[in-house]
Structure 1
Amino acid sequence: MARLTVRDLPDDVRDRLRLRAAANGRSTEAEVRAILTDAVTPEPEEDIKLGSLLAEIGRDFELTDDEYDLINERDRTPAEPLEFDW
Protein backbone atom coordinates (compact mmCIF):
# COMPACT_ATOMS: atom_id res chain seq x y z
CA MET A 1 0.00 0.00 0.00
CA ALA A 2 1.15 3.52 -0.72
CA ARG A 3 1.65 6.20 1.88
CA LEU A 4 0.74 9.83 1.42
CA THR A 5 1.83 12.77 3.52
CA VAL A 6 -0.13 16.00 3.41
CA ARG A 7 1.82 18.99 4.65
CA ASP A 8 0.54 22.39 5.73
CA LEU A 9 -3.02 21.25 6.32
CA PRO A 10 -4.88 24.06 8.11
CA ASP A 11 -5.94 23.24 11.66
CA ASP A 12 -9.60 23.95 10.91
CA VAL A 13 -9.56 21.44 8.03
CA ARG A 14 -8.01 18.81 10.31
CA ASP A 15 -10.66 19.53 12.93
CA ARG A 16 -13.50 19.20 10.42
CA LEU A 17 -12.00 15.94 9.15
CA ARG A 18 -11.98 14.60 12.72
CA LEU A 19 -15.61 15.62 13.23
CA ARG A 20 -16.64 14.08 9.90
CA ALA A 21 -14.76 10.89 10.73
CA ALA A 22 -16.45 10.65 14.13
CA ALA A 23 -19.86 11.20 12.54
CA ASN A 24 -19.15 8.33 10.14
CA GLY A 25 -17.73 6.06 12.85
CA ARG A 26 -14.24 6.02 11.34
CA SER A 27 -10.78 7.13 12.26
CA THR A 28 -9.54 10.35 10.67
CA GLU A 29 -7.17 8.31 8.51
CA ALA A 30 -9.98 6.03 7.34
CA GLU A 31 -12.14 9.08 6.61
CA VAL A 32 -9.41 10.64 4.47
CA ARG A 33 -9.03 7.34 2.58
CA ALA A 34 -12.79 7.23 1.96
CA ILE A 35 -12.83 10.85 0.74
CA LEU A 36 -9.90 10.30 -1.63
CA THR A 37 -11.31 7.04 -2.95
CA ASP A 38 -14.69 8.65 -3.58
CA ALA A 39 -13.04 11.62 -5.31
CA VAL A 40 -11.26 9.47 -7.90
CA THR A 41 -13.86 6.73 -8.43
CA PRO A 42 -15.70 7.37 -11.72
CA GLU A 43 -19.43 7.74 -11.66
CA PRO A 44 -21.34 4.99 -13.50
CA GLU A 45 -22.21 7.33 -16.38
CA GLU A 46 -18.49 8.09 -16.74
CA ASP A 47 -17.65 4.45 -17.33
CA ILE A 48 -16.76 3.66 -20.92
CA LYS A 49 -19.48 1.60 -22.56
CA LEU A 50 -17.99 -0.70 -25.20
CA GLY A 51 -20.99 -0.53 -27.54
CA SER A 52 -21.09 3.25 -27.42
CA LEU A 53 -17.35 3.43 -27.98
CA LEU A 54 -17.53 1.12 -31.01
CA ALA A 55 -20.46 3.06 -32.46
CA GLU A 56 -18.50 6.29 -32.09
CA ILE A 57 -15.50 4.72 -33.84
CA GLY A 58 -17.78 3.61 -36.68
CA ARG A 59 -19.15 7.13 -37.04
CA ASP A 60 -15.63 8.55 -37.06
CA PHE A 61 -14.65 6.20 -39.90
CA GLU A 62 -17.84 6.97 -41.81
CA LEU A 63 -18.70 3.38 -42.69
CA THR A 64 -20.47 2.80 -45.96
CA ASP A 65 -23.89 1.14 -46.03
CA ASP A 66 -22.28 -2.07 -47.36
CA GLU A 67 -19.76 -2.12 -44.51
CA TYR A 68 -22.51 -1.47 -41.99
CA ASP A 69 -24.57 -4.35 -43.47
CA LEU A 70 -21.58 -6.70 -43.19
CA ILE A 71 -21.27 -5.90 -39.50
CA ASN A 72 -24.97 -6.53 -38.89
CA GLU A 73 -24.92 -9.83 -40.82
CA ARG A 74 -22.39 -11.40 -38.47
CA ASP A 75 -23.23 -14.60 -36.63
CA ARG A 76 -24.99 -13.63 -33.41
CA THR A 77 -25.05 -17.15 -31.96
CA PRO A 78 -23.83 -16.95 -28.36
CA ALA A 79 -20.37 -18.38 -27.90
CA GLU A 80 -20.06 -21.68 -26.10
CA PRO A 81 -18.46 -21.37 -22.68
CA LEU A 82 -14.94 -22.68 -22.36
CA GLU A 83 -14.45 -25.99 -20.58
CA PHE A 84 -11.27 -26.82 -18.78
CA ASP A 85 -10.87 -30.54 -18.22
CA TRP A 86 -7.87 -31.37 -16.10
Structure 2
Amino acid sequence: MAILTVRNLPDEVHRAPRARAAQHGRSTEAEVRALLEEAVKPQGRLKLGSLLADIGRQMKLTDEEAALITTRDASPPRAVAFE
Protein backbone atom coordinates (compact mmCIF):
# COMPACT_ATOMS: atom_id res chain seq x y z
CA MET A 1 0.00 0.00 0.00
CA ALA A 2 1.07 3.54 -0.66
CA ILE A 3 1.99 6.04 2.03
CA LEU A 4 0.97 9.68 1.85
CA THR A 5 2.48 12.49 3.90
CA VAL A 6 0.71 15.83 4.04
CA ARG A 7 2.70 18.75 5.40
CA ASN A 8 1.72 22.22 6.60
CA LEU A 9 -1.89 21.50 7.51
CA PRO A 10 -3.59 24.30 9.38
CA ASP A 11 -4.43 23.32 12.97
CA GLU A 12 -8.20 23.41 12.38
CA VAL A 13 -7.85 21.08 9.37
CA HIS A 14 -5.77 18.69 11.48
CA ARG A 15 -8.29 18.76 14.36
CA ALA A 16 -11.37 18.09 12.21
CA PRO A 17 -10.52 14.50 11.21
CA ARG A 18 -9.48 13.76 14.80
CA ALA A 19 -12.90 14.87 16.03
CA ARG A 20 -14.70 12.90 13.29
CA ALA A 21 -12.60 9.83 14.10
CA ALA A 22 -13.67 10.01 17.73
CA GLN A 23 -17.33 10.24 16.67
CA HIS A 24 -16.96 7.22 14.39
CA GLY A 25 -14.90 5.21 16.88
CA ARG A 26 -11.83 4.82 14.71
CA SER A 27 -8.30 6.16 14.49
CA THR A 28 -7.49 9.47 12.87
CA GLU A 29 -5.59 7.59 10.18
CA ALA A 30 -8.61 5.39 9.40
CA GLU A 31 -10.83 8.49 9.30
CA VAL A 32 -8.50 10.25 6.85
CA ARG A 33 -8.51 7.13 4.63
CA ALA A 34 -12.32 7.11 4.68
CA LEU A 35 -12.48 10.83 3.87
CA LEU A 36 -10.07 10.48 0.95
CA GLU A 37 -11.89 7.45 -0.42
CA GLU A 38 -15.23 9.25 -0.22
CA ALA A 39 -13.79 12.34 -1.91
CA VAL A 40 -12.30 10.55 -4.91
CA LYS A 41 -14.79 7.81 -5.73
CA PRO A 42 -16.95 8.62 -8.73
CA GLN A 43 -20.41 10.06 -8.14
CA GLY A 44 -23.31 7.89 -9.19
CA ARG A 45 -21.13 4.82 -9.56
CA LEU A 46 -23.17 1.85 -10.76
CA LYS A 47 -22.62 -1.61 -9.43
CA LEU A 48 -22.33 -4.46 -11.91
CA GLY A 49 -25.65 -6.02 -10.88
CA SER A 50 -27.50 -2.75 -11.42
CA LEU A 51 -25.88 -2.31 -14.81
CA LEU A 52 -26.79 -5.85 -15.91
CA ALA A 53 -30.39 -5.40 -14.69
CA ASP A 54 -30.66 -2.20 -16.75
CA ILE A 55 -29.37 -4.02 -19.83
CA GLY A 56 -31.96 -6.77 -19.28
CA ARG A 57 -34.75 -4.20 -19.02
CA GLN A 58 -33.59 -2.46 -22.19
CA MET A 59 -33.57 -5.80 -24.04
CA LYS A 60 -37.04 -6.57 -22.64
CA LEU A 61 -36.04 -10.02 -21.40
CA THR A 62 -38.88 -12.26 -20.29
CA ASP A 63 -38.79 -13.91 -16.86
CA GLU A 64 -38.00 -17.23 -18.55
CA GLU A 65 -35.03 -15.73 -20.42
CA ALA A 66 -33.75 -14.09 -17.25
CA ALA A 67 -34.01 -17.45 -15.44
CA LEU A 68 -31.83 -19.05 -18.11
CA ILE A 69 -29.10 -16.51 -17.37
CA THR A 70 -29.01 -17.41 -13.69
CA THR A 71 -29.18 -21.18 -14.28
CA ARG A 72 -25.84 -22.75 -13.55
CA ASP A 73 -24.24 -25.32 -15.84
CA ALA A 74 -23.95 -28.49 -13.75
CA SER A 75 -21.74 -30.37 -16.22
CA PRO A 76 -18.26 -31.29 -14.94
CA PRO A 77 -15.37 -29.05 -15.96
CA ARG A 78 -13.26 -30.01 -18.97
CA ALA A 79 -9.50 -30.10 -19.08
CA VAL A 80 -7.96 -27.11 -20.82
CA ALA A 81 -6.02 -27.82 -24.01
CA PHE A 82 -3.28 -25.29 -24.82
CA GLU A 83 -2.54 -26.67 -28.29
Short-chain TM bin? 0.5 to 0.7
Structure 1 residue 17: Cα displacement: 1.4
Sort the Cα spacing of 1:82 and 1:40 in 2 relative to 1 into closer, same or farther, 3 A: farther
Q: Deviations over 1:13-72 (max 9, x none)?
A: 1112111111111111000001111112234x34384657xx8xxxxxxxxxxxxxxx99
Larger Rg: 1
2:76 to 68, 73, 85: 85
Equivalent residue, structure 1, for 2:3:
3
**Structure 2, unaligned runs of 5 or more:** 78-83
The TM-score, its normalising length taken from structure 2, stands at 0.55
- Distance in structure 1 (CA, Å) of the matches to 2:39 and 2:74: 41
Equivalent residue, structure 2, for 1:21:
21
Structure 1 residue 84: Cα displacement: 5.9
Equivalent residue, structure 1, for 2:80:
none
Equivalent residue, structure 2, for 1:33:
33
- Distance in structure 2 (CA, Å) of the matches to 1:33 and 1:11: 19
- Distance in structure 2 (CA, Å) of the matches to 1:6 and 1:84: 55
Q: Percent of counterpart pairs with the same letter?
A: 45
**Structure 1, unaligned runs of 5 or more:** 56-70
Q: Give, as a single letter, the amino acid of the residue that structure 2 aligns with 1:39.
A: A
Q: Give, as a single letter, the amino acid of the residue that structure 2 aligns with 1:33.
A: R
Superposition misfits of 4+ residues, deviation over 6 angstroms: none
